[in-house]
Chains A and B, each alone.
Chain A
Amino acid sequence: MTTMRIRAKKFLKTIAEKILPILTILFLLTIVWYFFTIYLNSAMQIDKYDKQGISWNISKLVLDTMSQERPKLPAPHQIAEEIWKTTVEKKITSKRSLIYHSSITLSSTIVGFILGTVLGVVLAVSIVENRAMESSLMPWIIASQTIPILAIAPMIIVVLNSLGFSGLLPKALISTYLSFFPIVVGMVKGLRSPDIILVDLMKTYNSSKVDIFFKLRLPASVPFLFTSMKVAIAISLVGAIVGELPTGAVAGLGARLLTGSYYGQTIQIWSALIMASILAATLVFSIQAIGYLVSKKMGYTNEEA
């Protein structure tokens, strides 16, 4: 009985401490959003009234600005309705289902992220273990990130297409291109994080470089890896969406954004954007959860738990 009560109390505390602040901001944002919806859409609405000779008052105007077909800024409930229609009410296999499009983008995000993580870890290891690699590779790794992804993405797609690769792989490679960078930086830092005395200690055991790597550097780098993986997976999603833009892809969130902008379907664009951010949040939190479980299993301290 008492444990039940304690648990209930803890649950309420979690809600009060974690959920309430988020909801407060959401509430404020929604109010601001509605304000801008009315403000931005009213000019066009008034124009329409004048042309069609409809008499209007403020309350009619406010309501009408929130139900336009192609508003400058759709109202939150219009977007919510669109998301509902394209996820719950459409079959997943349908070309108009947002879940279908999300899954296309998600698959190239995941493939790109995995490739990026592997590439990043391999580069980081070779940089830490070999000075020549550091001085020869590091400048190129940094330079690679100064090229705007919007400029290089179409080139990658075109080149790969002419080599016979299309569909998922070219998009995934753009995700890889973006996501390997935070992994390299984080892993180099993590592999070098052990205190000098821990390295000296390993030397007093006459241990090999391999031992120092697997018993000291690698386990010490795990928390760093998960931190950079959180950045990398979010940036992978951006890469996948950007990869869908220049190809005239027919499927994926990027394609949704593009067709939406062709036909001025702002509601469609916004719902694809919201979907993308929900996807990003889910991915980042999944990595965080895995990271939490792994570090707990490894025995790292966690004062919050």
Chain B
Amino acid sequence: MTDKIISAKNVELKFGKGSEEVVALKDISLEVGAGEFVSFIGPSGCGKTTFLRTVAALEKPTSGQILVNGVSPDEARTNRAYGYVFQSAGLYPWRNISKNVSLPLEIMNYSREEISKRVSESLNLVELNGFEKKFPWQLSGGMQQRASIARALSFDADLLLMDEPFGALDEIVRDHLNEQLLDLWQKTGKTICFVTHSIPEAVFLSTKIVVMSPRPGRIVDVIESPFPSSRSLEIRDSKEFISISQRVREGLRSGYDYNENKG
């Protein structure tokens, strides 16, 4: 039980009231173990981001229970249990890269020596050393996103929540960052929850793929990946890769059938 980083039981979340009511999450039950790399995939409105925000205590479930590290999300946040990476890098334009990475550490009252040590370690992990004094506008989109990952890693939380971090980047940069992220995950042994709407990205990165569907947001399939944790971009041409991709696609399609039958 203790190695369950996230455990969700019958989580339901509704926005609005009456005729305006939207069911963002319905009956979500899921467990994420330590060291797993879990992708959440689905069309927009399927609640994948909402689920991540619920784990981060940025949203409160209407009913059901969710535990992070065995405690409530609020308490987990107080314990600084996770780092969060948003779709846009969200770097502060008035802080240089090293100051951006040190932001959470300043808020958490780390000592000055500890801050400089951790900043250089985190920048090392995302291969951004040498860019400490640059300001965000002097960096490319991919580098900005790497800086924001470094910022999420800086206080060494065991869980990394990533909400479409590479969604705004072109495919070449994305491939490169995917490899880097895998590498980083293996080196650090962190648990990663990764929201995406790219099938290849989900299949390439994950040990577990959660396929979701909209209206109401729910889980339609959970796929365990057969690939070893150490993998290269070539696996994308393998038979298994293609068959998993197919299964994901079917899962996504079944969500639509469900809606059509209903409506």
Q: Which residues of A contact B (CB under 8 A)?
A: 195, 197-198, 200-207, 211, 215-216, 219-220, 222, 298-301
A201-B90 in contact (CB<8A): yes
Cβ–Cβ < 8 Å partners of A200 in chain B? 58, 84, 86
Which residues in A have their C-beta under 8 angstroms from that of B77?
203-204, 206
Chain A facing B: main interface SS = helix
Residue B227 CB within 8 A of the other chain: no
Contact assessment for B93 and A204 in the assembled complex, using a CB-CB cutoff below 8 Å: no
Query: Are A211 and B107 interface neighbours, CB within 8 A?
Result: yes
> What chain A residues lie within 8 Å of B86 (beta carbons)?
197, 200-201
| Seed contacts A205-B103, A205-B107, A216-B92; 20 additional CB < 8 Å A-B pairs | A195-B88, A197-B86, A197-B87, A198-B90, A200-B58, A201-B84, A201-B86, A202-B107, A203-B58, A204-B56, A204-B84, A205-B80, A205-B108, A215-B106, A215-B107, A219-B94, A299-B94, A299-B135, A300-B94, A301-B135
**Which residue of the partner chain, among B96, B104, B108, contacts A299 with CB atoms under 8 Å?**
B96
- At the interface, yes or no: B82 with Cβ under 8 Å from chain A? yes
Q: Is the interface of B mostly helix, strand, loop or mixed?
A: loop
Contact assessment for A204 and B58 in the assembled complex, using a CB-CB cutoff below 8 Å: yes
The reply to whether A215 and B103 contact each other, CB–CB distance below 8 Å, is yes
Chain B residue at minimum C-beta to C-beta distance from A298: B94
- Asked whether B93 lies within 8 Å of A300 as measured between CB atoms, the reply is yes
With A197-B88, A207-B107, A215-B107 given, is the CB distance from A301 to B93 under 8 Å?
yes
Distance in angstroms from A4 CB to nearest chain B CB is 29
Q: Shortest 3 CB-CB distances between A and B: which pairs?
A: A298-B94, A204-B84, A299-B135
Residues of chain A within 8 A (CB-CB) of B56 are: 204
Residues in chain A near residue B95, CB distance under 8 A: 299
Q: Mark B114-139, 1 if CB is under 8 A from A, else 0.
A: 00000000000000000000010100
Bound-state Cα–Cα, A301 to B91, Å: 13
Q: If A195-B90, A219-B94 touch, does A205 touch B137 (CB 8 Å cutoff)? A: no
| Tally of A-B Cβ pairs under 8 angstroms | 53
CA–CA, A195 to B137, complex, Å? 17
A275 CA to B210 CA, complexed, in Å: 72
B83 proximity list for chain A (CB < 8 A):
204
Q: Mark B71-102, 1 if CB is under 8 A from A, else 0.
A: 00000011010111011101011111000000
A204 in contact with B82 given A215-B103, A215-B107 (CB within 8 Å): yes
A-B contact pairs, 15 of them (CB 8 A): A195-B88, A197-B87, A197-B88, A200-B84, A204-B58, A205-B80, A205-B104, A205-B107, A207-B107, A211-B107, A215-B103, A298-B94, A300-B93, A301-B93, A301-B135
Residues of B within 8 A of A198 (CB): 90, 92
Report A-chain residues with C-beta under 8 Å of the C-beta of B107: 202, 205-207, 211, 215
Chain A CB count within 10 A is highest, among B88, B94, B135, B137, for B94
How many whole Å from A191's CB to the nearest CB in chain B? Answer: 14
**Nearest opposing residue in chain A for B93, CB measure:** A300
Q: Kindly state the separation between the CA atoms of A219 and B92 in the bound complex, as whole angstroms.
A: 9
* Distance (whole angstroms) from the CB of A152 to the closest CB of chain B: 39
Chain A residues with CB under 8 Å of B93's CB are 299-301
What is the CB-to-nearest-CB distance from A55 to chain B, in angstroms, rounded to a whole number?
74
- CA gap between A207 and B104 in the complex, in Å: 9
Docked complex Cα distance between A301 and B56 (Å):
32
Compute how far the CA of A216 lies from the CA of B104 in the bound complex, rounded to whole angstroms: 12
Residues in A neighbouring B84, C-beta threshold 8 A? 200-201, 204
Q: Which chain A residue shows the least CB distance to B157?
A: A204
On whether the beta carbons of B103 and A301 are closer than 8 Å, the reply is no
Residues of B within 8 Å of A206, CB to CB, are 77-78, 80, 107
Measured between beta carbons, the chain B residues less than 8 angstroms from A201 are: 84, 86, 90
What's the minimum C-beta distance from B103 to chain A, rounded to whole angstroms? 7
Instruction: Provide the residues of chain A in CB contact with B108, threshold 8 Å.
Output: 205
With A204-B82, A299-B135 known as contacts, the answer to whether A197 contacts B92 (CB < 8 A) is no
Knowing A204-B82, A299-B95 touch, does A197 contact B90 (C-beta < 8 A)?
Answer: yes
Cα of A206 to Cα of B82 in the assembled complex, Å: 11
Smallest beta-carbon distance B33→chain A, Å: 22
Closest beta carbon of chain B to A224's beta carbon, Å:
13
* Contact residues in B for A197 (Cβ distance below 8 Å): 86-88, 90
